[in-house]
Structure 1
Amino acid sequence: MSKMKYLKSAVLVPDYPPPNRPEVAVAGRSNAGKSSFLNAIAGSKVAHVSQEPGKTRLLNFFEFGSHYRFVDMPGYGFAARSGDEMQSWSQMVETYLTLRGNLKGLVLLMDLRREWTADEEMLKKYCQQSGKAFCVALTKADKCSTKEQRERLKVIQKTSQVAETFLISSQTKTGIKELEDFIFNEWIKNKETR
C-alpha cells in the first residue's frame, strides 16, 4: 500500500485543502523529475510522469501518511509557454509560497547536469523572504559517474549557497530515504515540538 495519495489540485487559495497539516512543496524545471521523485517516495505511482515537459499547470496536493502533505508545483522554464502562462505561473507560485502558513519548506529538484540559474535563485529568495526552509535535490544522479556527482554537488553548493543539497535518483532510489528523513526530522518533527 502506498504511503502517499492524491488529494486535490488547485490554482486559487480558496481551492487549497484546509491548512490543517504541514506541507512540503516540490518545485523544479519542467522534466526535473518531480513526479518521479514523488512516486519514488510513495513507493507506487501516485503522480503522473509526462514525457512532454510543462504538463503540470496546477498545484497538486498529496497526503503523505498522517504527518504531512507534498505539493507538486508546476514546472518552470518551459520555453513553449506564452508570456501570459509564465506570468500566471509566477503569480500562483508566489502566492502559494508567501501566503501558505502551513508550508514548512520547499524541495527544489534540479537535474544534476544543469546549472544554477536566476529561476532557482528566485525560488530560494521567495522561501527566504517568507521564512520557509529550503533544500536542493540534484536529480538523475544515475546518469553520472560517482566522480561527476561529487564535482556537480560541489559546484551547485558553491553557486547556490545552499548547504542542504542532496544527490538523488528516482530510478535507483539513491538518496530518496535520506531526503525523506531530512524533511521529516528537520522540517516536520522539529516544527511540531516548537
Structure 2
Amino acid sequence: MSALAGVTAIVNAEPISYLDINTSTGYSSNVSIDGIDIGNGNHYYGNQTATESFTVVTNMVGDSNTPMLGGNVQIANASSSDIDFVIGFYLPAEELDAGSYDWAGSISLALTGIDASLSSLLDTPVWSSGIGDVEMGTLLVDPFELAFDGLGSQATEEAISGMIDWNGDSGMLSVEFAFNLSAGDSVVFGTSLGFVPAPGAVSLLGLALLSGRRRRRSASPA
C-alpha cells in the first residue's frame, strides 16, 4: 500500500477519500474525492480518470464511522500493449474504542474482451486491504491469472474474514488492486471491506456484490 495508509484522517460532515493510480506506462496520480452524503452515515465517492492508454472509473460508498466501504472500480486498457496497474482507494475512518474487531472483505472481478487476460504482479496479491499501518488481508494472491480465448467474458470472486486488534486511532481504511491487464480489454472489480457487525453493513456488502457481479503489522485472517 502507499504511504497514504498511514496518513491521519480528519473526518467531518463531508469526509475526503483518496484515489491512487500508478501504471507501467509511467502514469501516476493521487486524487482527493469529496464525499457526497447519501444518508445513514454513508457517503458516495466517484471519479473518472482517462488517458490515451486507459480509463479508470471509481464508484465507492463508505461509512467512516463503522468503518466500511463497498463499490466498484472499472478499468479499460485502450492501448495496444498490456499495462500493469496499482490502484488504491483510501477512506477516512473515525476514532473507535481500542479493542478487537471482527472484519470481512471481498472481491469480485469480471473480465471482458478478446483473448483477454488479467494476472497478478510479481509477489503481489491482486487485492489487499488495511487500516492505518495494519494489514487486514489479501485475496487472489500471486500467482493468479484469469484468461480466455476469443471474444467473451469470465468472472471470479473471493471473500475473507478475520479479527484485528485496533488501537482505535483515526486513519485510512484501504483497498488496493494490483494487476496486469491485456491490451484492448476491460475489467470490473467489485469490493467490500469493513468492521462487522455494524449498522449499514448489510447494505454496503450488497452494493459491492451487485456492482461487481511499507510494511505493516499483520492482522489474523480466518
Using the size of structure 2 for normalisation, the TM-score is 0.30
Q: Which has the larger radius of gyration?
A: 2
The structure with more strand, counted as a fraction of residues: 2
Q: Which has the higher contact order (CA 8 A, sep 6+)?
A: 2
Using the size of structure 1 for normalisation, the TM-score is 0.32
The structure with more helix, counted as a fraction of residues: 1
